[in-house]
Chain A
Amino acid sequence: MQMLGMGQAVNQALREEMQRDSRIFLAGEGIGVGIHDSPMMPTYGLLEAFGPERVKDTPVSEAAIAGLAVGAAAGGLRPVVEVMFNPFFTLASDMIVNHAAKLRYLSGGKTSFPLVVRIKSGAGFGAGCQHSHNLEAWVAHCPGLKVVMPATPADAKGLLKSAIRDDNPVVFIEDMGLYFAPAEVPEGDYSIPIGKADIKRPGTDVTLVTWSKMLGVAMQAADQLAREGVDVEVVDLRTLTPLDTETILSSVRKTGRLVVLHEANRTGGFGGEIAALVMEQAFDALKAPLRRVTGPDIPVPASPPLERFYIPDAGQVIAAIKELL
């Protein structure tokens, strides 16, 4: 099977979907002619393949890019637009939060907005908090938006295809750390349903719920604990909204223990939503209090030792799990 980084998997999904459907176009800052000339990047080579009518480099105008997607979607196209780094989403947010998410509802279900906003995110590249800020909980809080956060290249390809084919606005968040971690990706067309979590590692002792880049940390912790005789079930959410409550609840009912792991900071993070779900619907199954392992409640600092301190690691996950046993 082909080995691709997540950026390459996204690239393949975009390429295949654009070949399939001429209504799809791309827009964003430097997605055609860019400052990164690397085949690992998600839009590499697409300008050459599809031309400037369908691969649109824009001015530095996030609100206009997002609004372009909203209007073009209502007008019959299927836009896939890019926000370069997650913090810049705040500039695009009026169009996505107040418009893409609400105008269908306001129309009494008569207008649709089939668009995808791809956002590059994640800490770990030393640029500091105006480039690294995981805001998935913000968007997940908005009814009318689907929020997808793949953890593997194969999932990214299949989920992006579903996102593009979906008639709703989908926020698709790619952790850039995953661009440079190649893994197996099936060739050709396949899709993965939005709203379905995936058990990346079955286990019996504790449920570890995570998503995006933190899956790697979760698997590392699970491997280490397996050597110590603790069997961890790792649930990769893949989609935050709509949330696959069934997979989470049945896992917790099986293991009786829950740890949620995310890179975003703790307060108001999506881990709280998982915790509340389990308390409401599987409280009786819990053998121990649940735990969250998250970034601390600080902006992401730039200096390497400070940034490492921010990002959750396997040691913290192992310690949290051991508290529950």
Chain B
Amino acid sequence: MSISTQTKLDMLRAMLLARQFEETLTELCRQPGKIHGMMILATGQEAVGAGVCAALSPEDVILTNHRSHHHLLARGADPKALMAEIFGRRTGCNKGKSGTLHLAVPEVNALCTTTIVGGGFPIATGLGFAQQYQKQEAVTVCFFGDGATSEGSFHEALNLAGLWRLPVIFVCENNGYAAAQSYAEHTPVESLAARADAYGMPGECVDGNDAPSVLEATRRARERALAGDGPTLIECMTYRWRGHGETDPQHYQPAEEIAAWKERCPIARLSGFLQASGELSDAELEDLRASAAAIVTEAVRFAEESPWPEPEEALDDVWAE
């Protein structure tokens, strides 16, 4: 299936928004007292969120992790509610319970987000099982990093998903690092996609900085899942521009390596492609940028003007009534 200009522009819009959102967070983290807690960003990895989510239908479910902003924004989560949650405000999407690390946005079928590395795999099999059981025309996407494949849960869950042919797409964002450990320091085999073989599912390695490639791989996996042929593992090769978190001095990431990957910016890649093909004018690109900036400015304003939760609100939401 070819990719329409509209879809390509949607992916570009999603990436520009995520980039603007996270670059703004980097700035805000430099201002003392603005944002509390950790800040984990996916700057440079935007094509994964944008490419995968462009292949999904609203009924599909996504499950994400500690590095989730680009997934959630691409999925259509409200930037104001995300920003307010990151600021710890009552108007945040999780009423201040989550902060940035476990943003759940059921409104866009991002039902459960976990910052326990590897926590997502078994839950994704459960979500996929529920879809299979209820005969839904829908799949589950599980986003995770290369480091997460070192957890036992990866192997248990993929085995089960393969065995039961669950409609799950396991999307690995191989950004080269698990915290301070480089890929080669945490995994002894070259390809994570190759591990799919061991669990009876296809594994595909794609250029994770090329949104159209990510989109196409996801479409193939989704068709397989909906046809009852079971799960797929997609390994998206990308790179973490920032440190693990915003306080990480990144000593272990060679400057040349970062620079080389910045040359392969996923946004420049897609916008350049669209401009070359005549699908996007300079003025239109400027408009897209300006509109992303306006959305993020508005989100920050909304968050800063929002009230803090009352302390006793901490007691709410433990139990379903």
Instruction: Using CB atoms and an 8 Å cutoff, list the residues of chain A in contact with chain B.
Output: 29-30, 33-37, 57-64, 87-88, 91, 125-128, 130-131, 296-299, 301-310
Residues of A within 8 A of B147 (CB): 59-60
The minimal Cβ–Cβ distance linking B195 to chain A, given in whole angstroms, is 14
Considering the complex, which residues of chain B in the window 92-119 have a beta carbon less than 8 Å from any beta carbon of chain A?
92, 96-102, 114-118
Most A-side CB within 10 Å, residue of B100, B115, B148, B318: B115
> For residue B94, which residue of chain A has the nearest CB?
A302
User: CA separation between A64 and B151, bound complex, in Å?
Assistant: 9
Would you call B314 and A59 a contact (CB within 8 A)? no
Residues of A within 8 A of B97 (CB): 128, 299, 301-303, 306
> For residue B66, which residue of chain A has the nearest CB?
A130
Residues of B within 8 A of A87 (CB): 116
Residues of A within 8 A of B220 (CB): none
Binding stretch for chain A, among B71-79, B209-217, B241-249: B241-249
Would you call A128 and B181 a contact (CB within 8 A)? no
Would you call B178 and A59 a contact (CB within 8 A)? yes
Would you call A128 and B99 a contact (CB within 8 A)? yes
Residues of B within 8 A of A29 (CB): 179, 181
Would you call B151 and A131 a contact (CB within 8 A)? no
5 contacts between A and B (CB under 8 A): A30-B180, A88-B116, A91-B151, A126-B36, A303-B89
Would you call A30 and B181 a contact (CB within 8 A)? yes
Instruction: Using CB atoms and an 8 Å cutoff, list the residues of chain B in contact with chain A.
Output: 36-38, 88-89, 92, 96-102, 114-118, 147-148, 150-152, 178-181, 185-187, 243-245, 247-249, 251-252, 308-315, 318
Of B150, B181, B310, the residue contacting A33 (CB under 8 A) is B181
Residues of B within 8 A of A125 (CB): 37-38
> For residue B310, which residue of chain A has the nearest CB?
A305
User: CA separation between A60 and B115, bound complex, in Å?
Assistant: 13
Known: A35-B244, A303-B96, A306-B311. A60 touches B178 (CB 8 A): yes
Residues of B within 8 A of A88 (CB): 116
Of A61, A64, A303, A310, the residue contacting B99 (CB under 8 A) is A303
Provide the main secondary structure of the chain A interface.
loop
Would you call A131 and B115 a contact (CB within 8 A)? yes
Known: A37-B251, A303-B99. A130 touches B37 (CB 8 A): no
Of B101, B181, B248, the residue contacting A127 (CB under 8 A) is B101
Would you call A308 and B311 a contact (CB within 8 A)? yes
The minimal Cβ–Cβ distance linking B302 to chain A, given in whole angstroms, is 16
Residues of A within 8 A of B102 (CB): 128, 130
Residues of A within 8 A of B187 (CB): 59
Would you call A60 and B311 a contact (CB within 8 A)? no
> For residue A298, which residue of chain B has the nearest CB?
B318
Would you call B309 and A130 a contact (CB within 8 A)? no
Residues of A within 8 A of B186 (CB): 58-60
User: CA separation between A91 and B180, bound complex, in Å?
Assistant: 20
Would you call A61 and B318 a contact (CB within 8 A)? no
Would you call B101 and A61 a contact (CB within 8 A)? no
The minimal Cβ–Cβ distance linking B84 to chain A, given in whole angstroms, is 10
Known: A298-B315, A310-B314. A305 touches B308 (CB 8 A): yes
User: CA separation between A301 and B316, bound complex, in Å?
Assistant: 11
Of A35, A64, A131, the residue contacting B243 (CB under 8 A) is A35
User: CA separation between A10 and B247, bound complex, in Å?
Assistant: 23
Residues of A within 8 A of B310 (CB): 305
User: CA separation between A141 and B92, bound complex, in Å?
Assistant: 38
Most A-side CB within 10 Å, residue of B92, B179, B310: B179
User: CA separation between A131 and B66, bound complex, in Å?
Assistant: 11
Known: A29-B179, A306-B313, A306-B314. A57 touches B185 (CB 8 A): yes
Of A60, A296, A308, the residue contacting B148 (CB under 8 A) is A60
Q: Given A60-B118, A128-B115, 9 other A-B contacts at CB below 8 A?
A: A59-B187, A61-B152, A63-B151, A91-B152, A127-B99, A130-B102, A302-B36, A306-B314, A309-B314
Residues of B within 8 A of A64 (CB): 150, 152
Known: A298-B314, A308-B311. A126 touches B179 (CB 8 A): no
Residues of B within 8 A of A303 (CB): 36, 88-89, 92, 96-97, 99, 308-309
Residues of A within 8 A of B150 (CB): 59-61, 64
Known: A59-B187, A304-B36, A306-B97. A33 touches B115 (CB 8 A): no
Of B152, B185, B247, B311, the residue contacting A36 (CB under 8 A) is B247
Residues of B within 8 A of A307 (CB): 314
